[in-house]
Amino acid sequence: MNQIQRLGRATIDTLERLGRATLFLLRVLRATRTLTGRFRLVVQQVYSVGVMTLVIVLVSGLFVGFVLGLQGYNTLVRYGAESSLGLLVALSLTRELGPVVTALLFAGRAGSALAAEIGLMKTTEQLAGMEMMAVDPMERIVAPRFVAGVIAMPLLAAIFSVVGVFGGYLVGVGLMGVDGGLFWSQMRSGVGIYNDVLGGVVKSVVFGVIVTWIAVFEGYDAQPTAEGVGRATTRTVVTSSLAVLGLDFIMTALMMRGL
């Protein structure tokens, strides 16, 4: 009986949390309307969310491209199809790795920082202080961060993909001796603008919304203690990583069916 009660309580807690998160998202979306006159706030957040994440995205993209080039070459050369290396690298990056790996890095680098920042503001009662001064923390703190995350994520994913293709080119053509012209022409004939590039962009926008939403919600919903902020940060990274991977599967399945 105790076990059943515990299961029921866990379910109710989860649902309640989900409901709170949804209501929170609606409030954030409503607060974004007030940003039109205060775009400077968003610019500041794009800096801390996007520009600060750029370095890790660039380095990871380059190395993912290197590895794809090496691995792809070793597999393809067995079938004498090493000229398709460019296609393999570009398709893997634009469709899957670009959006997904960028979202995971984004959750780790920017999401955790967002959650910790907002959580600490709540703990030190800065949010309450703002409300006292009739400044809505939703409009002033949360909405700019949310919009900045949604703007930054697709840009980061695109940069990741391009750098990755470049990395694959360096390894494939520079190191392994694949023909450079074939690398690009195979890539260009095989990668479609709608299915592959646009699909990847749609994915990265969705991931941007999901990761930033989870981050700001966890921060805003954190227990106002040092431990609570820590837990919110951890939960942001874990939840958003799982959400990204799960949603990626669903979106890939939907896009593949649409082909």
Partner 1 sequence: MAQSKVLEVAVGLFVIAGIAALATLALKISNLHSIGPSRGYDVKAYFNDIGGLKSEAPVTMAGVRIGHVASIYFDKKRYQAVTVLHIQAKYNTIPVDTSASILTQGLLGEQYVSLSPGGSTQYLKNGSKITMTQSAMVLEQVIGQFLFHKAAEGEQQQPQSPGAPGLPAAPATP
Footprint of partner 1 (CB under 8 A):
43-44, 46-47, 50-51, 54, 90, 94, 151-152, 154-156, 158-159, 161-162, 165, 184, 187-189, 191-194, 196-197, 200-201
Q: Residue 94 or 236: which CB sits closer to partner 1?
A: 94
CA angle in degrees (0–180, nearest 5) for 200-206-208? 100
Smallest separation, CB 229 to partner 1 (Å): 26
Q: Which of 250, 139, 148, 144 is nearest to 208 (CA)?
A: 148
Q: Residue 21 or 101: which CB sits closer to partner 1?
A: 101
Q: Residue 99 or 111: which CB sits closer to partner 1?
A: 99
Q: Which of 196, 200, 195, 184 is nearest to 86 (CA)?
A: 184
Smallest separation, CB 122 to partner 1 (Å): 25
Smallest separation, CB 250 to partner 1 (Å): 23
Smallest separation, CB 212 to partner 1 (Å): 16
The CB density around residue 23, as the number of other CB atoms within 10 Å, is: 11
Give the DSSP per-residue string, 46-77.
Answer: HIIIIIHHHHHHHHHHHHHHHHHHHHHHHHHG
Q: Which two tokens stand for residue 142?
A: 């949360």
Q: Residue 50 or 111: which CB sits closer to partner 1?
A: 50
